[in-house]
Structure 1
Amino acid sequence: MFDSGFHAAVAGLRVPAAGTDVVAPLLSSLVHLARPRRVLEVGMGYTTPFLAAALVQVAEQARAEASALAAKTARHLDSVGELDSDWLHADPALRAPGFYLDPYQPRFIAVDDLSIPDSSAGRVMDVLASLGLAEHVQVVNANIRECRALLPDDFTPIDLAWVDAWECLYFFDHFWDMINPDGGLLVMHYLMTYPEGEAILDYIAKVQRRKPGELEVLNLLEPHKMLQNSLTVIRRTSAGRARSFAHAGGHLDFDGRLRHEAETQAGRGTASA
């Protein structure tokens, strides 16, 4: 999907002063890594088609992986009778059956009130349409202070929020409760660029100290840029679930929960067993 045709289509959305030339493909990679099911973007532009395309691509991959994993598990149980390292490493390798128990059907909402003259937000929908992605993006025409009331009632928890807007502090204060407490990600642009952004980072650090276990923070700096030169990634951790099946030394426990989830995903059991 990210071929020369895609890059030619999105080139008109690139605003050099916005500083998202590297951010956009990084966000698409983050979608592939984290596989979020609900994605919110505040501030449309060059990043929007990258997010939309990545979500469509991952959804296609997840469907194929789910089918292949079920077939692999069924074959292995029929021939060997138990799960083992050969099952784990066979294609699709290393996949956690529990992830595939619910179909991966991501939703993407993009928010913008089209009030910034230099923004490319007003051209985004035409580009999405040319790429066949328009139906995968729900647009909310509102500013950051109005948009929460306009989001669908079932659009929680948010697994990935990308905020490229001045009022990042407002978003953190008024939308944080919507971020998935089991590892949901809030990514904000350019907080290391201005004193106001540094003040927001200090505020977030105070929240982190006041509420241990609530969040993790990573600041990424583009040192070769003067402005628009950072990303702040905040991971909400207040209700994180353990996902490890391994014992000390990396030895995997193939029985119990893992076997149950694998059998259920392969149609050999029931989710309530």
Structure 2
Amino acid sequence: MRLPSPTPIRGLLRCLDAGFFAPSFEEEGYKTIGDVRCDGREAVHEFVSALSMPRGSDERFMRLCFQDDAEGANDGGSSEADSAAAALPCSTGDVEWQKAVMPLYSMHMGCENMGPLLHSLTRFVKPRCCLEVGAGYTSAFLLQALEDNWREMQFWESWRSSQSSKTSNTSGPTPESWLVGGSGSPIDVEGGVLHCVDNFAHQHTTAPELFRVAQRLGIQHRLRLHLDDARAFLEESGHLHFDFVWLDGLLDFAPPVNGNVKDGIDSFLSLLWPRVLPGGLVLSSDDDWGLHKTGTMLFGSCFLYLLPSCEFYRWHRRLHSTLTNSAVREWVDSAAKSLQGTPGAMLSLLEPHKKFQNSVSILQKRSDGFSEPVYSKLP
């Protein structure tokens, strides 16, 4: 596992069961791995030794901090990575692009179709601040989509500029009739970023490879990789609000509280939902609970059941269930009878050829009625 310099110290300490030492590091000026590396091994070792960190976490901390930086600490590393990125195609459908992301793929994850779906949705809705809980293969598709969005906006702005000098009687659409906003004001996606939160603890995780793959593709500037617990990250990043959220694995981000699955989901969603912007999308893969019980609607039903604020479900009863086991389906039916919910809309999709890791639920934060702007009277 090689950690890039932007990795937050707080998350690393928490993953080492030494999270209560975080204030000491922050007071010393250590907020990221990069801060530690700047001071050097000897100075940091003296500081860490004085803290008497428990259970050998001090040694593991030093070992994780002082290793080859994934950002290219070796001479020429960064320039070589930049050159390689320039030579790689940008399309996720290109063979060379797919080869570059293969270190992130594991068949256990079942995300071979999820990655392209996430890429297409991100390209369509143009989010600016994304959150992914569970870094890996799908992260590359999200990062590439953010970069592709910026390039697309550059194209539209170039077209707008080129058309401004032409006469108004030219055939076809004009920038004024086709694009939102005036000259110089395309949709602002230049700063689009993906916050990836992962504790690197999953048996099949490929998250430690993510930063190097992003470098290879030239999209590392879109990535904010957080080695941390998802709930702790949400509690400590209150300034961030998200318009696209991808949750990969139920119990990875919402483990049971005192053995209660419902309480675990409730705890996580109560932190997440207020941070989702109006119109924002939340996608959740099927859970990995027990013997791979496949039921993304377990997430959705808890979502509707635990966060009531209106009679939304009474108006939106046409929920497509992807449940493939009767036990969870009965639980969902009982929750649905409450006729309680939260402002939003839900769609769930199933890969019919698979028995598990085969479904995704898509939720959008929206109130009753249409919130989209009206641009014309007729189609």
Q: TM-score, normalised by structure 2?
A: 0.57
Conserved in 2, the CA contact under 8 Å of 1:187 and 1:232?
A: yes
Aligned partners of 2:366, 2:148: CA distance in 1, in Å?
27
Corresponding position of 1:175? 272
Q: Of the candidates 203, 224, 230, which is equivalent to residue 353 of structure 2? A: 224
2:222 is aligned with 1:136: yes
Ranked by relative contact order (alpha carbons within 8 Å, sequence separation 6 or more), the top structure is: 1
Q: Give the residue type in structure 2 aligned to 1:228.
A: Q
Give the partner amino acid of 1:203: C
Q: Residue 129 of structure 1: CA displacement?
A: 1.6
When residues 112 and 65 of structure 1 are mapped into structure 2, their CA distance, relative to the original with a 3 A threshold, is same
Q: Deviations over 1:209-230 (max 9, x none)?
A: 8453710000111111111111
Greater Cα radius of gyration, structure 1 or 2: 2
Note if contact 1:217-1:234 (Cα within 8 Å) is conserved in structure 2: yes
Q: How does 1:81-92 map to 2 (within 5 A)?
A: 89-90=173-174
Aligned to 1:246: 376
User: Within the alignment, does 1:60 sit opposite 2:190 as a pair?
Assistant: no
- Tell me, in whole angstroms, the C-alpha distance in 2 between the residues paired with 1:75 and 1:122: 50
Question: 1:185 aligns to what SS in structure 2?
Answer: strand
Equivalent AA in structure 2 for residue 39 of structure 1: C
Does 2:120 match 1:29? yes
Aligned residues: 239
**Aligned residue for 2:302?**
203
Indicate yes or no: 2:181 matched with 1:97.
yes
Any conservation in 2 of the 1:140–1:150 contact (CA below 8 Å)?
no
With over 3 angstroms needed to count, the CA separation of the structure-2 counterparts of 1:189 and 1:195, relative to structure 1, is: closer
Q: How far apart are residue 205 of structure 1 and its match?
A: 3.3
Tell me if the contact between 2:123 and 2:149 (Cα under 8 Å) persists in the aligned partners.
yes
Distance (whole Å) between structure 1 residues aligned to residue 176 and residue 106 of structure 2: 39
Q: Specify whether residues 236 and 49 from structure 1 end up closer, same or farther in structure 2 by C-alpha distance, changes over 3 A only.
A: same
- Hey, what does 2:72 align to over in structure 1? none
Report the AA paired with residue 164 of structure 1. D
What amino acid is aligned across from residue 200 of structure 1 in structure 2?
A: F
Q: Deviations over 1:146-200 (max 9, x none)?
A: 11134372x22x110001032352442211011111x100011115963775443
Q: What amino acid is aligned across from residue 140 of structure 1 in structure 2?
A: H
Match of 2:233 among 128, 140, 147: 147
Q: TM-score, normalised by structure 1?
A: 0.77
| 8 A Cα contact 2:296 2:360, kept in partner | no
1:71-86 alignment runs, 5 A limit: 71-72=162-163, 74-75=164-165, 79=168
Give the whole-Å Cα distance in 2 for the aligned partners of 1:138 and 1:119. 17
Structure 2 partner of 1:49: 140
Q: 2:281, 2:362 within 8 Å by CA — same for their partners in 1? A: yes
Structure 1: 5+ residue stretches without partners: 251-273
1:15–1:243 Cα change, 3 Å: same
Partners of 2:367 and 2:343 in 1: CA distance: 4
Counterpart residue number, 1:263 = none
Q: Is 2:284 aligned against 1:188?
A: yes
Contact 1:191–1:231 (CA under 8 A) maintained in structure 2: no
Aligned-pair identity in percent equals: 22
Alignment partner, residue 261 of structure 1: none
Long gaps (5+) in structure 2 = 1-89, 255-264, 313-341
CA contact (8 A) 2:200 2:207 kept: yes
> Cα deviation per residue 1:218-266 (whole Å; 9 max; x = unaligned)?
011111111111111000013963312222x43xxxxxxxxxxxxxxxx
**How large is the RMSD of aligned CA atoms in angstroms?**
2.9
Q: Distance in 1 between matches of 2:97 and 2:176?
A: 28
Range that drifts further, 53-62 or 165-174: 165-174
Pair 59,92 (structure 1): closer, same or farther in 2 beyond 3 Å: farther
Q: 2:283 corresponds to which letter in structure 1?
A: V
